[in-house]
Amino acid sequence: MPYQPQEIAVYIHWPFCKSKCPYCDFYKELARNTDQDTIIAEYLDALKRYHEILPERTVKSVFFGGGTPSLIKPQNIAKIIDEIARLWHIRTNPEISLEANPNTHYQTMFADLKTAGINRLSLGVQALNEADLRFLGRTHTTETARQCLEEITTVFDNHSADLIYARPHQTLPAWQKELTEICSYGLKHISLYQLTVEENTVFARKNIRPLEEDAAVEMYEFTRDFLTERNYNLYEVSNFAQTGFESVHNLTYWQGGDYIGIGKSAHGRFYENNTHYAAEYPFIHTPLTAYERAEELLIMGLRLTQGINKDVFCQICGLDLTEFINKQKLNNLRTAGFLTETPTHLFATRRGFLVLNQLILELCS
């Protein structure tokens, strides 16, 4: 049966921030004199153009990311959600997420976001002590972060928080204290990102170095066990969720589903007229070869603990997974205990998750 995806995810990118974090290498602009109404009108027009290209799809999720999308006026968020619902059929009980920065908090913010149509709130906490918040360039306080955590678990049924670990000089007992606290709020989902210093960031220019590798590995392994004991399942290399609360939208990326991106620097992937396209905003659609799409599926799919479904891989790109990857390298990595292969799946072992980027390089060589 020919591959023809029925669903699509919609990513709304708001690149504006009140300040720029020194570790961040994403495209961002400072939110000074931002003409929201003009930008939102542009987004609505872009949605209409994408509907002309992909008119028959069902929207499975909407994700407002950034930047700092909690800077968008709730009435403008509602306009975007309403326009998506007008243009496409929407899945029953879709996931509609928004990333919020505690530094944008005001008294009724979360209630206003829920009224606008958001049903999943992701909070960018990043650290739960004042010294590391300052080091990471965050402009909120731990008091504000804690207030926001309390509020989102009251207002929303589906919620997540982000923390960054492997900060320079961070100790395991200090990290355990932060993990204990973040678990105490009853969040459904927790995202934990290892600090990396990317080129062209403030940290790179200042020659900041994250925690040394062995200590970072120990911290990651401890975190996995600690959260598993508290009913948070690792389902992607950096993401833990209670059962049934995995991010529908992000799984679209990792499982090779179709999505469109609206907003400056946003991108997408979709299949139409027997062709895979890489999309850059606004409306630059570059055809992908089967090999290019297969490589993307491998890179993203091995991030998942369940790994890559061989049948789905073949349905999407038209190539057999075991024929696409380097068989000799696969055998070596299996023998060494980094990968497990079953008749239906290929996935990284716990040991393999620690060297995931290297595994991908080996398999694609």
The string of pLDDT tens digits covering residues 110-153 is: 999 999 999 999 999 999 999 999 999 999 999 999 999 999 99
Q: What is the pLDDT along the chain (365 residues), one digit of tens a residue?
A: 578 899 999 999 999 999 889 999 887 788 788 899 999 999 999 999 999 999 999 999 999 999 999 999 999 999 999 999 999 999 999 999 999 999 999 999 999 999 999 999 999 999 999 999 999 999 999 999 999 999 999 999 999 999 999 999 999 999 999 999 999 999 999 999 999 999 889 999 999 999 999 999 999 999 999 999 999 999 999 999 999 999 999 999 999 999 999 999 999 999 999 999 999 999 999 999 999 999 999 999 999 999 999 999 999 999 999 999 999 999 999 999 999 999 999 999 999 999 999 999 999 88
Predicted local distance difference test score (pLDDT) of residue 320: 96
Q: What's the 3-state SS for the chain?
A: CCCCCCEEEEEEEECEECCCCCCCCCCCEECCCCCHHHHHHHHHHHHHHHHHHCCCCEEEEEEEEECCHHHCCHHHHHHHHHHHHHHCEEEEEEEEEEEECHHHCCCCHHHHHHHHCCCEEEEEEECCCHHHHHHCCCCCCHHHHHHHHHHHHHHCCEEEEEEEECCCCCCHHHHHHHHHHHHHCCCCEEEEEECCCCCCCHHHHCCCCCCCHHHHHHHHHHHHHHHHCCCCEEEECCEEECCCCCCHHHHHHHCCCCEEEECCCCEEEEEECCEEEEEECCCEEEEECHHHHHHHHHHHHCCECCCEEHHHHHHHHCCCHHHHCCHHHHHHHHHCCCEEECCCEEEECHHHHCCHHHHHHHHHC
All domains of the chain in start order, with CATH: 7-251 (3.20.20.70), 294-365 (1.10.10)
Predicted local distance difference test score (pLDDT) of residue 1: 58
Predicted local distance difference test score (pLDDT) of residue 31: 78
Predicted local distance difference test score (pLDDT) of residue 149: 98
